[in-house]
A and B are shown apart, each in its own frame.
Chain A
Amino acid sequence: MKKRILSIIIAASMILTLTACGQSTPSGSSASASPTSGAATGGQTDDKVYGDPIIIGLSLPVTGEQAAGGLQAKCGAELKISEVNEAGGIKIGDTWHKLEMRIEDDQGNSDLVLNTVNKLASEGAVAILGPYFSGQAIALNDTVKELKIALINSCTSVKIRELQNPWLWRNRCDDGINVQIIGKAVIEDGATKVAIMCANDETGTAAAEGYMKYFDSKGIPYHVEWHTKSDTDLTAQISKCIAEGCDAWVSSTHDTAAVAMAKGMYELGLRNQKVYMNPILAQAQVLEMMEPEWVEGWRCVSDFSYTDTREEQAEFTKKFIAKYNMNPDVQGALYYSHATVLIDAIERAQSTDREAIRDAIASTNGLKTLVGTSYASQYTDLLYEIGIAEIQNLEPVIVGSVSVAEDYGFGK
């Protein structure tokens, strides 16, 4: 009898603990739950009349495999919002408003993001920064139309633009542009047969299709190998590429698989390879998991590097390190820029109405942000330039940049 009671008590306590743990992770985290809490809201000044804070939502992976990227993104957005609040906030009409950031953890999951976006919208967010993955953005296609809430993110799949959704925006070069830049670079580097190693998610498949199309147009042979974004052993795929005689590599993948690819190539004896990747290679948390010799000389397209000595980028890096005690990486810079675009849109809209803000985003023209100059196309795209980084001693060093804005009719 005593054992039965004890067993029931143990089982019940575990159920309660599980429930508590579950509530503490997926959707319960908010960076600032009220106007008076959290670093993003700042203080008040004496001669301004303040109204209700303007809520900016963030839907990002706070936990899960991409938590590191999510943390960078959160910090980047928070830094920009803090700067605006410290300067007094945003003036709409005669009333000033502070900005309040609310973050929900979607764990990089396409099902959870539906819940987080709905929650942020119901809490009064005027727009949302995020999500992290292209697959999530695509999953939100109908939801954002119903909620009439704009999203600004870094999702690069060309399929997002094909949705022609006026509520989905990205302030980053899409994979189509990145593929052309990388494809051109790898051919100029002397490749005779290219290994295309891509994740089998939305980002990777769109990029792989772009690479295949580009190399077909240039008459360059290639071999494609797929992996999942959480794959930790790519030895088999790399071996098959070696057997195919590939002498150059292009890749569009995510954190874990990028590390696996670098490790696998090194352990299979591949040295001094021509490797070009998507911006994941320049992310601090990814390089942190690598050994220097794995990726020395590898290149990637990259929106940002903390080693960039240009004035604006260096100043951002300095402020980021001072506030967060870590180097900013691509996601930090991107979400700082996304927040810049959104805040500019709110100021031009002179309204907290979501449709007015969406219309203001859609009329962005020549706004200088940290990662480049933003021009709004008819649907989705805001940015048409990107840098090329080379990894030197585990640091991404910007060695060049490419802008195709004029090709799309902007900035002339």
Chain B
Amino acid sequence: MGAANDINVLQFIVIGVAMGFIYSLVATEYTLIYNATGLVNFAHESFIVLGAYLFGGTFVRALGLPIWLAITLAIVSMVLFGIFASTIVLNPLRNLQFVTYAMFGTMMLSRIIIEACRLLWGPLPFTVKGFLRGSINIGSAALPTSYVYIIIVSIVIVTGLQIFFKTTRTGKAMICVSQNKDAAALTGINVTRNINITVAMSAALCGIIGILTAPLFNINTGMVASTALKGFCAGIIGGFGSYPGAIVGGILVGLLEQFGIMFFPATYKDVVAFGVMIIFLLIRPSGIIKAKKA
């Protein structure tokens, strides 16, 4: 260094795509719950935080387990937690007369989970040493290792979900429930059990997001506050309720954010996602890819 160079555009594109996949995962999780229950799950952020704390705080730091085992147990724990949350909270809430009450319910669930994390693991942020550290070079750009795993895992999850929904009986039942719960019930599908499975899958996905973002944001109760909001924006931009829309919206938000940083002060990067969301709400509220409904 010492001589000025042109801005490394490839670096911004690479980071933009990687962050976009994080937003896509978050948007996918919103979509899962929304399609199954008709609710926007505002406890979503706390699910991610809980997953990260279980992985880093309990299984790695407290119990000293190998990383692979800690990841497995964290995901299993989140599945069980998802079933619990669905049975106790989300399933009863979806039947409330006013959907606003249900949304408040998810917000309160979020607060309870976050406070529980603070009480159980303490208020101090921490990290998992040596987990997904380092970077690889792609041309002139450097991509942190954690982003590589995020991209790979995101592609696997999205592909897996598509195969699951199209080829398995449970997946097809979940599609039926998302399109019309009453009709699904009439055909013999157990709607409540289906919703429990959906929320369990969503909780597992949140756990995975928490594990993948732990090296990026460090583990603390506010680690994904901004990311969760931007994932929500990505879902709206891509088309709320649409899985392909969640991917497209996420990557678009990630890229626009990085291009914004190239030309404007970096402190305004959060404005990009929210600004684009407002534009879409005004001119194309269904998003880029409209979700299919019966």
Using a CB–CB cutoff of 8 Å, the interface residues on chain A facing chain B are 3-4, 6-7, 10-11, 14-15, 17-18, 21-22, 24-25, 62-65, 67-68, 71, 192-193, 200, 225-228, 230-237, 239-240, 242-247, 255-256, 259, 263, 266-269, 285, 288-289, 291
Contacts and interface: CB of A to CB of B under 8 A. Distances in A.
Residue among A64, A231, A232, A242 facing the most chain B CB atoms (10 A cut-off): A232
Interface of B: 1-8, 11-12, 15, 19, 88-89, 92-93, 95-97, 101, 104-105, 108-109, 111-112, 115, 118, 123-127, 129-130, 133-135, 137, 142, 144, 216-218, 220, 222-223, 258, 261-262, 265-267, 269
Residue among B1, B12, B95, B118 with most chain A CB within 10 A: B1
Contact of B15 (A18, A227, A236, A245): A236
Contacts of A269: 135, 137, 142
A328 to B, nearest CB: 15
Contact of B125 (A18, A237, A255): A255
Contacts of A227: 266-267
B93 A192 contact: no
B127 A289 contact: yes
Nearest to B5: A243
Contact of B218 (A71, A244, A259): A259
Contacts of A200: 267
Contacts, number: 136
Contacts of B127: 288-289
Nearest to A232: B217
Contacts of B92: 3, 6-7, 10
B108 A18 contact: yes
B142 A14 contact: no
A21 B112 contact: yes
Contacts of B269: 236
B6 A243 contact: yes
Contact of A10 (B105, B130, B262): B105
Nearest to A3: B95
Contacts of A18: 108, 111-112
Contacts of B130: 291
Given A200-B267, A245-B2, A285 B125 contact: yes
A325 to B, nearest CB: 14
A219 to B, nearest CB: 16
B2 A192 contact: yes
30 contacts: A3-B92, A3-B95, A7-B93, A10-B88, A11-B101, A14-B89, A21-B111, A21-B115, A25-B118, A63-B123, A65-B220, A65-B222, A68-B124, A71-B123, A193-B2, A225-B265, A225-B266, A230-B222, A231-B266, A236-B266, A237-B266, A243-B4, A247-B2, A263-B144, A267-B134, A269-B142, A285-B125, A288-B126, A288-B127, A291-B130
A10 B1 contact: no
Contacts of B97: 4
B2 A67 contact: no
A54 B126 CA distance: 36
Contacts of B267: 200, 226-228
Contacts of B258: 236
A329 B262 CA distance: 37
A14 B112 contact: yes
Contacts of A63: 118, 123
A68 B126 CA distance: 10
B126 A289 contact: yes
Contacts of B133: 291
B25 to A, nearest CB: 16
A10 B218 CA distance: 33
A326 to B, nearest CB: 10
A17 B108 contact: yes
A289 B218 contact: yes
B142 to A, nearest CB: 5
Nearest to A13: B108
Contacts of A3: 92, 95
Contacts of A21: 111-112, 115
B125 A68 contact: yes
Contacts of A234: 266
Contacts of B7: 239-240, 243
Task: Pick the most buried of B4, B97, B123, B218: most chain A CB atoms within 10 A of its CB.
Answer: B123
Given A233-B216, A269-B142, 13 more contacts: A10-B89, A11-B93, A11-B104, A11-B105, A14-B105, A63-B123, A64-B123, A71-B124, A226-B265, A230-B222, A239-B7, A255-B125, A289-B127
B218 A232 contact: yes
Contacts of A289: 125-127, 218
Contacts of B3: 245
A233 B270 CA distance: 12
Nearest to A20: B115
Nearest to B225: A230
B148 to A, nearest CB: 11
Contacts of A243: 4-8
Nearest to A267: B135
Contacts of A6: 92
A20 to B, nearest CB: 9
Given A11-B105, A18-B112, A267-B134, A239 B12 contact: yes
| Max chain B C-beta neighbours (<10 A), residue from A24, A234, A289 | A289
B123 A246 contact: no
Contacts of B19: 233
Contacts of B134: 267
